[in-house]
């Protein structure tokens, strides 16, 4: 039975990724593919041209900013409305954004924040702008504002739910009361007790979210600019172009991105396993 279990696990979970990664690496090294002429590192060398690096940096920036925004909003609401959030209706409302698919969230953000969107129309009615061009660029913009807002909207209620859970499990109310009775100032209770314990609890989730956001596709596809693009969008765009020479480069990008993710997760797992009970 042990063998059956392991075979099913390997076939269903490990083999697809291993085979995919193997194919991607071999294609990017010129060993297979339509234009294969034998082993070459030229497609890997093209990754150094800047487009790949820019895309990875841009993806990391968007992922980091989205996570910080979601975490900041969740913490702000936790510390300002914690008691109110214990009530049935507000607590239930926190689940509402979880019903929105990323693609639909992107569409809604576009309809709200684009030059022809709801906010721009409201601004026109209030006489703040005279045409669509005058409205600030909030989607398809270089800073990924739309993407970050859409990510933040989708994830911050979930972060808040997790933080509420940590608050209860770590009995932070009691710890705060004990500290206050020992004469610790309110801001020090926040900085020395509440925040560190909350951050310790949510750190693994934050790390995973940075990785998930980096690979996001649906939202950047609708709200992202044409250059630099998020890594998933860039890989797919390269693959779907008519230029056959772009295909090995796309596989090189996908393989290196996958290896980067695997290395990051492995590092997180081994380095922080004990501290954060991963």
- Please report how close the Cβ of residue 230 comes to other proteins at its closest, in angstroms: 9
Upper half-sphere CA count for residue 114 (Cβ side, 13 Å): 13
- Please report how close the Cβ of residue 120 comes to other proteins at its closest, in angstroms: 7
In the bound state with other proteins, the residue whose beta carbon lies nearer, of 131 and 227, is 131
In the bound state with other proteins, the residue whose beta carbon lies nearer, of 25 and 188, is 25
- Please report how close the Cβ of residue 173 comes to other proteins at its closest, in angstroms: 16
- Please report how close the Cβ of residue 183 comes to other proteins at its closest, in angstroms: 27
In the bound state with other proteins, the residue whose beta carbon lies nearer, of 19 and 185, is 19
As a whole number of Å, the end-to-end CA separation of the chain is 28
**Residues in CB range of 247: below 8 A, 6 or more apart:** 27, 33, 34, 238, 239
In the bound state with other proteins, the residue whose beta carbon lies nearer, of 158 and 276, is 158
| Backbone conformation region of residue 141, classed left if phi is above 0, alpha if psi is from -120 to 50, else beta | beta
* CA–CA distance, 72 with 156 (Å, rounded to integer): 8
* CA–CA distance, 98 with 158 (Å, rounded to integer): 8
- Please report how close the Cβ of residue 90 comes to other proteins at its closest, in angstroms: 5
Q: Measured at the alpha carbon of residue 260, what is the angle toward residues 255 and 261, in degrees to the nearest 5? A: 100
In the bound state with other proteins, the residue whose beta carbon lies nearer, of 184 and 258, is 258
């Amino acid at each position: 039975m042990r063998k059956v279990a392991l075979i099913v696990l390997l076939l269903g979970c490990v083999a697809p990724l291993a085979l995919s990664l193997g194919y991607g690496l071999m294609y990017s090294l010129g060993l297979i593919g339509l234009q294969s002429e034998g082993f070459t590192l030229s497609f890997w060398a093209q990754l150094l041209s800047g487009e790949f690096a820019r895309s990875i940096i841009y993806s990391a920036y968007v992922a980091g900013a989205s996570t910080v925004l979601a975490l900041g909003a969740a913490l702000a609401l936790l510390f300002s409305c914690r008691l109110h959030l214990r009530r049935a209706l507000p607590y239930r409302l926190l689940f509402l954004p979880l019903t929105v698919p990323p693609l639909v969230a992107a569409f809604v953000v576009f309809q709200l924040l684009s030059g022809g969107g709801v906010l721009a129309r409201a601004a026109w009615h209030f006489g703040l702008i005279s045409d669509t061009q005058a409205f600030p660029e909030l989607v398809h913009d270089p800073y990924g504002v739309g993407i970050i807002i859409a990510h933040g909207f989708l994830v911050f209620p979930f972060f808040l739910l997790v933080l509420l859970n940590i608050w209860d499990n770590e009995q932070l109310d009691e710890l705060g009361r004990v500290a206050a009775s020992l004469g610790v100032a309110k801001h020090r209770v926040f900085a020395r007790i509440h925040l560190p314990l909350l951050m310790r609890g949510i750190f693994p989730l934050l790390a995973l979210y940075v990785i998930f956001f980096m690979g996001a596709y649906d939202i950047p596809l609708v709200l992202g600019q044409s250059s630099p693009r998020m890594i998933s969008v860039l890989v797919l765009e390269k693959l779907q172009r008519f230029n056959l020479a772009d295909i090995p480069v796309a596989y090189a990008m996908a393989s290196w991105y996958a290896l980067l993710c695997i290395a990051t997760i492995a590092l997180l797992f081994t380095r922080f396993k004990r501290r954060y009970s991963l």
